[in-house]
Structure 1
Amino acid sequence: MAKLNQILAIEKGIKTRVYGEFTDLHQATQKPPLMNGFQKSYQPRDEDGETYPTESQKVQYHASEILERVAKGLAELFDITATKDYANCTARANVIVDGKSLLEDVPATYLLFLEKQLSDLHTFITKMAELDPGSDWSVDPSTGLFKTDTMSTQRTKKVQRPITLYEA
């Protein structure tokens, strides 16, 4: 029997592939010309009339073949998901950081939840604004916040001047 980590490694790929194929087949079956074929032959109206070549279009998708492909893909997806879910019922582990056990005998589903939360926390922290490295920062003891040396700059006031387009 496969280990839970092996199942988790392949589940996402299978899910992506099956959903992609399912979507493609669903879109293809919404187009009647691909599901219908025809063969047309033309007869002249009279003996001297013009003759036209026959036209035909083969059926490109058979409903039975499409349903077999969908059933095969979904069976594979259901199988891997059931295997994972049943393994999750019995899988347990300890969470150890720096040699110290923080959590013991934790269910696998909770470990997956923790993994997602830690990933989200990592994204949150890496996207936070940082202090400008071009300035010298120091901690203000009265507020506990970082500050730079005071800078003096000039600012101009916007003055609106009327523009005369035509003299009256």
Structure 2
Amino acid sequence: MTKLNQILAVEKGVKSDVQRKVTDAYHAIQKTPLLSGISRSYQPIDDEGEQLPPESTRVQVQAEQVLREVGATLTRLFDVTATKDVANCSARGDVKVDGVVLLEAVPVTYLLFLEKQLVDLHTLISKLPTLDPSESWTLDENTDTWRTEAVKTTRTKKVPRNHVLAEATDKHPAQVQVFTEDVVVGYWTKVAFSGALPQRRVNELLGRLQKLQDAVKYAREEANGIEIVDQRIGEKVFGYLIG
């Protein structure tokens, strides 16, 4: 008894072979000389006239024969595709994660869809932004974001100062050097917020996703392992069409 996974294994090869043969047939019937033949003989007016050999060209391509060959080729493809599609209607598998059935009796066509979506989802999750590990983060319930501890820093202002190098005398003015001094005038209190995720959360999501991806693949293999009935569709179609 044939199994669905066996049909799937040969389907690609059958499609490629059919496409090549149908393409060759299409090109063959476009070549008018191959469809044409001729036979002619020469008869001189009298017995003393020049004798010429007969000429003939055989027909190399017969449209009816090409049609029958295309029908035979497509019959195989029609049968393989029908067998696969009919089997897909009953091919189902359970998606089990850690021994627990998460999704029951899922059609194999949906499992294929799910498999592709999970690949795209893996790409998204792996690119999620993560919190700066150099900071200490806690969840702020008021904003539902992550926040750091408050950090207090000073704000300074440059204030000009005078430095007397030499006191004034009755003969010379005082020698004064002007400089600036940083004076604390206030304090900044900074709290950083972030909508990113902790790295452990991303790792957790990726771990769960990997388990689900594996489970979907196992379910697909289970579904594709069912025994199937070979369909004979092509013979009926071409029996009607060119019979």
Tell me how large the CA RMSD over aligned residues is.
Answer: 3.6
In 2, Cα distance between the equivalents of 1:97 and 1:43? 90
* Counterpart position of 2:223: none
Q: Give the structure 2 partner of residue 106 of structure 1.
A: 106
- Between the aligned partners of 1:96 and 1:52, the Cα distance in structure 2 is 85
* Alpha-carbon spacing, 1:50–1:113, altered in 2? closer, same or farther (3 Å): farther
In structure 1, the partner of 2:60 is 60
Q: Which runs of 5+ in 2 are unaligned?
A: 124-131, 136-191, 197-243
**Equivalent residue, structure 2, for 1:13:** 13
Query: Structure 1 residues 93 and 55 mapped into 2: Cα distance closer, same or farther (>3 Å)?
Result: same
Letter in 2 for 1:25: A
Deviations 1:5-54 (A, max 9, x none): 11111111111111210111011101111111113445669988766554
**Partner Cα distance (1:51, 1:139) in 2:** 103
Question: SS at the partner of 2:56?
Answer: strand
Label 1:62 to 1:107 Cα distance change in 2 as closer, same or farther (>3 A): same
Larger CA Rg, structure 1 vs 2: 2
Looking at both structures, which has the greater relative contact order when contacts are Cα pairs under 8 Å and sequence separation is at least 6? 2
- Normalization by structure 2: what TM-score? 0.43
Q: Which residue of 2 aligns with 1:91?
A: 91
Report what 2:72 is aligned to.
72
Q: Which SS does the other structure have where 1:71 is aligned?
A: helix
Kindly provide the amino acid, as one letter, of the partner of residue 89 in structure 2.
Answer: C
Change (3 A) 1:7 1:53: same
Q: Is there any run of 5+ residues in structure 1 with no aligned partner, and where?
A: 126-137, 145-168
Cross-structure match for 2:234: none
Aligned length: 130
Match of 1:149 in 2: none
Q: Distance in 2 between matches of 1:56 and 1:140?
A: 92
1:66, 1:116 → 2: CA distance? 41
TM (normalized to structure 1)?
0.60
Residues 1:2 and 2:33 are matched in the alignment? no
How far does residue 55 in structure 1 lie from its aligned partner after superposition? 3.5
In structure 1, the residue matched to 2:27 is 27
Residue identity over aligned pairs, in percent, reads 53
Q: Specify the SS of the correspondent of 1:60.
A: coil
Change in 2 beyond 3 A, CA 1:97/1:55: farther
Counterpart for residue 160 of structure 1: none
What is the alpha-carbon distance in structure 2 between the residues aligned to residue 67 and residue 96 of structure 1? 50
Distance (whole Å) between structure 2 residues aligned to residue 88 and residue 11 of structure 1: 14
CA distance change for structure 1 residues 13 and 114 in 2, over 3 Å: closer, same or farther?
farther
Distance in 1 between residues matched to 2:118 and 2:57, nearest whole Å = 56
Mean CA deviation greater in 84-93 or 36-45: 36-45
Q: 1:67 is aligned with what amino acid? A: L
Instruction: Name whichever structure is richer in strand by fraction.
Output: 2
